[in-house]
Amino acid sequence: MMLRRYTDATRTFVTILNLILRMRQYHTRSYQYDQINKTADRMYALFAICNALSPSRLDDNILNIVKERFGEQVTKMSRGEEGIPAFEELFTYACPKFVSANPPPYEDREALAVYLEESHIDPAQRHLRDFIADVRAQLPVPTLRSFLKLYTSLGTSKLAGFLDTDEEEMVQQLMVLKQVSRSIGRVGNEKSLLEGSTVSNSDLDFVIDEVKPELTLHWRSDHHR
Domain limits, the chain: 1-97+124-137, 140-225
Give 6 or 182, the one with higher predicted confidence: 6
Instruction: Please state whether the predicted TM-score (pTM) of the whole model is above 0.75.
Output: no
CA triple 46-50-53, angle to 5 deg: 140
Looking at residue 208, the DSSP 8-state letter turns out to be E
What are residue 16's phi and psi, to 5 degrees? Answer: -70, -45
Cα–Cα nearest to 203, from 141, 131, 160, 157 = 141
**What is the reported pLDDT for 178?**
75
Average per-residue pLDDT for the chain: 79
Q: Which tens digits make up the pLDDT trace of 78-132?
A: 877 788 999 999 999 998 887 777 778 888 888 888 877 776 678 888 889 889 9
Q: What is the mean pLDDT of residues 152-158?
A: 76
Domain 140-225 has CATH 1.10.10: yes
Cβ-Cβ contacts under 8 Å for 146 (sequence gap 6 or more): none
**What is the reported pLDDT for 86?**
93
Alpha helices (runs of H) in 149-221, residue ranges in sequence order: 156-162, 167-180
3-state helix, strand, coil in the chain (%, to 5): 55, 10, 35
Q: How confident is the model at residue 216 (pLDDT cuts 50, 70, 90)?
A: low
